[in-house]
Amino acid sequence: MSDIVQTTAVSSAEERPQPRLVKMVRFGVGEKPTAAISIATALAVATLWWLVAELDLVPHLFLPRPGEVLTQVGVLYYDGYAGASLSEHIFASLFRIVLAASIAIAAGIPLGLLMGLNRWAKGILDTPIEFYWPLPPLSYLPLMIIWLGIGETSKITLLVLAMFAPICLSAQAGVRSLPIERVNAARSLGARPLELFTDIVLPSALPEILTGVRIAVGIGWGTLVAAELIASTRGIGFMIMSAAQFLATDVVFVGIGIIAICAFAFSAAIRFIEAVLVPWKGKL
Amino acid sequence: MLKVDHASVFFAARDGRTVHALDRVSFEIPESGFVVALGASGCGKSTLLNAIAGFLPLSDGAIILDGRPVRGPGADRGVVFQKDALLPWKTVVDNVALGLKFAGVSKSERRARAHELLRLVGLDEFAKALPYELSGGMRQRVGIARALATEPDILLMDEPFGALDSLTRDQMQELLISIWYRTAKRIFFITHSIEEALFLGTQVLVMSPRPGRVVARFDLDFVRRFAATGDARSIKLSTEFASLREEIRAILHRAEDFRSAA
């Protein structure tokens, strides 16, 4: 017989304090909180702005005081700018981007999925998309204006074109990343082609599609403001451009602030949609 | 009855050469038969399963299920994959009910049926969980329940326990046997574990690569013995089990030696 060594847990007489909790050392930022640092940075930048303006380190024309910008928000709100109220300017910009994004999403997702699934669709649509999408949208804005006039149609068409490509390409990538086991599983459970599309392909591609929408909205804001700078009488981009011509730096600041808030709200909304629609993203 | 009749498969390799993946394989799975295909990787066992499931057409030969030739995938053959292939956006109960949804069963009815199957695999309390919240063994049990939901004529299992730890694997084997015994389903099961093959199969097909073919068959009754007694230990420790294990090991090694000598 071999010796059996009995080990029993020995409880120490003295009560131990809370043990030191340890973790595997991570690489990169990981899950460490950064919000407090970001807020502190924002406060520091604002303080620096206030100090530089207050001490007249740069000419007042270049850098208005924070207080003046805030006052200007009130003035613009009550008096409007260039014959339109502030909310009309904001609404004009929001209308353009929301309408264009809706069209780009409505066209980009089905066409992208189709291109991922069908050889003919891919072959035919690849040619125009690969040709136009690397072009900067502003390079073909003059052409849009010649063809479609100076009104809303040319601007919205420009925005749709700029936002369509990333959505369409991401929907294609979503189909490509679909694991074959998932398709085979559904087929062996009796899925018909239409069910395969609605129940397997579309939801599988959704994370990639939402990433594409996020990129598209970013491109959309950039293109929108640039288009309004050139050809418009309404919109935040127009307001900034027009104010700059009168060297009304405080109005320029207000315009930039409004765009920043809108773009941030859009990106937060998409992150929220992602959290609701694809909570499983990256987990399986 | 599932009848595989002289099934051959040739693939085109990337360099243009022809790969003989499956060479005239024939066997039958009778009513409530549990056939296990055993072999090293590359012996054509997954190719064979894919052909039975209808994911892969045969180069030559035929596969006939209850008199109908297999032409493509269908709900009459339930497949359990090595990687679970569950839908990550659906809850466990809805994953199990997926086949019933495709069959046009009403929502309340398919939920009720799915709960029944989840009870069968011991996961009823996880019905509302999402797949990523489950362990590998639990996900595989969901996969089995899902494959059973459409009441297929046969269950095809592609190394379903290959990625599990050995303790979970033992539990899963015993669970599968109890399901097989209670539902009297035909099962075609793939593994590279000799012990697993011996313990589960009413018939074991020993396969060998290049070309993939069946080199030996054994008719066994360990699985029925286990179903009757519930004592896995005495079966796996029996001299009969051990001598068969060594015999099969020798066959697999001989095939290996033959191949490297050639």
Whether B132 and A280 lie within 8 Å, measured CB to CB: yes
Whether A184 and B79 lie within 8 Å, measured CB to CB: yes
Match 């080199």 to its residue by tokens: B215
Taking the C-alpha atoms of residue B202 and residue B189, their distance in angstroms, rounded to an integer, is 11
DSSP state of A15: P
Which tokens sit at A80?
């409007």
| A41-68 residue pLDDT tens | 999 999 999 999 888 888 888 888 888 8
pLDDT higher than threshold 70 for residue A5: no
Q: Give the closest of B79, B83, B89 to A188, CB-based.
A: B79
Question: Average of pLDDT values for A98-126?
Answer: 94
* pLDDT band for position B255 (cuts 50, 70, 90): confident
CA dihedral A193, A178, A183, B60 (to 10 degrees): 100
| A71-86 residue pLDDT tens | 988 888 888 888 888 8
DSSP state of B156: E
DSSP characters for A239-280? HHHHHHHTT-HHHHHHHHHHHHHHHHHHHHHHHHHHHHH-TT
Q: Residue B55: its chain A contacts at CB < 8 A?
A: 184, 187-188
Question: Average of pLDDT values for A179-194?
Answer: 92
* pLDDT band for position A107 (cuts 50, 70, 90): very high
Which residues are within 8 A (CB) of B124 and not within 5 positions of it... i.e. 6 or more apart?
A: B115, B118
Q: Which residues of A touch B (CB under 8 A)?
A: 179, 181-182, 184-192, 195, 199-200, 203, 206, 278-280, 283-284
| B192-223 residue pLDDT tens | 999 999 999 999 999 988 888 899 999 998 99
**Backbone phi, psi, residue A20, to 5°:** -75, 120
| A149-172 residue pLDDT tens | 888 899 999 999 999 999 999 999
Question: Average of pLDDT values for A105-125?
Answer: 94
* pLDDT band for position A1 (cuts 50, 70, 90): very low
Asked whether A237 and A220 are in contact (CB, 8 A), the reply is no
Among A246, A77, A45, CA closest to A53? A45
Which tokens sit at B126?
């996880």
- Taking CA–CA distances from B74, the nearest residue in chain A reads A188
Whether A185 and B75 lie within 8 Å, measured CB to CB: no
Q: Residue A188: its chain B contacts at CB < 8 A?
A: 53-55, 73-75, 77-79, 147, 156
Q: Give the closest of A190, A283, A284 to B99, CB-based.
A: A190
- The amino acid that residue B63 corresponds to is I
| B138-153 residue pLDDT tens | 999 999 999 999 999 9
Asked whether B208 and B255 are in contact (CB, 8 A), the reply is yes
Whether B78 and A283 lie within 8 Å, measured CB to CB: no
* pLDDT band for position A228 (cuts 50, 70, 90): confident
- Taking CA–CA distances from B147, the nearest residue in chain A reads A189
Whether A190 and B87 lie within 8 Å, measured CB to CB: no
- pLDDT for B143 equals 93
Q: Residue B78: its chain A contacts at CB < 8 A?
A: 188-189
Asked whether B128 and B111 are in contact (CB, 8 A), the reply is no
Residue B211, preceding peptide bond in cis (omega within 30° of 0)? yes
Half-sphere exposure of A229 (CA within 13 A, CB side): 14
Interface residue of B76, B98, B148 to substitute, partner A, most A CBs within 10 Å: B98
Which tokens sit at A169?
């390409």
Distance from CA of B209 to the nearest CA of A (A): 24
Q: Residue B88: its chain A contacts at CB < 8 A?
A: 280, 283-284
- pLDDT for A7 equals 56
Supply the angle between the helices A202-230 and A137-148 in degrees, to the nearest 10: 70
Three-state secondary structure call for residue B63? strand
Q: Residue B103: its chain A contacts at CB < 8 A?
A: 190
Q: Distance between terminal CA atoms of chain B?
A: 38
As a whole-number percent, the residues of chain B with pLDDT over 70 amount to 97
- Describe the strand order of the beta sheet including B18-29 as a list of residue ranges: B18-29, B2-12, B60-65, B68-69
| B157-185 residue pLDDT tens | 999 998 888 888 998 899 999 989 888 89
Taking the C-alpha atoms of residue A195 and residue A213, their distance in angstroms, rounded to an integer, is 24
Q: Residue B149: its chain A contacts at CB < 8 A?
A: 189
Whether A190 and B55 lie within 8 Å, measured CB to CB: no
Residue B28's DSSP bridge partners are B3
Q: Give the closest of A181, A184, A284 to B73, CB-based.
A: A184
Asked whether A221 and A263 are in contact (CB, 8 A), the reply is yes
* pLDDT band for position A207 (cuts 50, 70, 90): very high
Q: Residue B147: its chain A contacts at CB < 8 A?
A: 188-189
- pLDDT for A45 equals 94
- pLDDT for B106 equals 92
Q: Give the closest of B132, B150, B156 to A284, CB-based.
A: B132
Residue B205's DSSP bridge partners are B37, B217
Q: Are strands B186-191 and B34-38 parallel, antiparallel or unpaired?
A: parallel
Integer angstrom CA distances of residue B53 from A184, B21, B65: 9, 16, 11
Integer angstrom CA distances of residue B9 from A42, A89, B23, B27: 66, 68, 7, 16
Q: What is the mean pLDDT of chain B?
A: 90
- Taking CA–CA distances from B50, the nearest residue in chain A reads A184
pLDDT higher than threshold 80 for residue A142: yes
Question: Burial of B52 by CB count in 10 Å (0-12 exposed, 13-18 middle, 19+ buried)?
Answer: buried
- Describe the strand order of the beta sheet including B34-38 as a list of residue ranges: B77-80, B154-158, B186-191, B34-38, B203-208, B213-219
pLDDT higher than threshold 80 for residue A284: no
Match 């204006």 to its residue by tokens: A145
